[in-house]
Amino acid sequence: MGWEVWETVVVKFEELISQIKADHKIQKIVEEPLSINTFTTGKSTGSVNAEKYLIRFLDTISPDDPLLDSLYEDLAKLASYAGDYDKSVQWYQKGLALQSQKTLSTVSEINKSNNST
């Protein structure tokens, strides 16, 4: 009976290790920027230029689109990954400016709401 218990423990342990490895792989993918994750910077898809397509997408969405924050961040990460740190900083600054604008807008709305009560 002792051997069966050990065998069960080992099997469960191996299942847990397998699940941890799978979760770790998923987490690595999630932490990559969308552009790198989707296009792998053009390496696996030949001549795909991720930046070109993301900028084209940027031109099609409205300034208040909730995806805009993520898009700026992905463009910044992609530029950084490609070694273009100046462009990366520019994209991060655009994202920060957008976040600041949203924060100021939210604070303004809260103040208006508090003043009207």
* Structure confidence by residue, pLDDT tens digits, 43-85: 544 334 788 888 888 888 888 888 888 889 888 888 888 888 9
Domain locations in the chain as residue ranges: 32-116
Segment of 36-45, 85-94, 103-112 carrying the highest mean pLDDT: 85-94
Query: Which of 98, 94, 96 lies closest to 55 in space, CA to CA?
Result: 94
CATH code for the domain defined by 32-116: 1.25.40
Beta carbons of 12 and 4 less than 8 angstroms apart: no
**Alpha-helical segments (H) within 32-84:** 34-39, 50-60, 67-81
* Amino acid 1: pLDDT: 55
Confidence of residue 93 (pLDDT cuts 50, 70, 90): very high
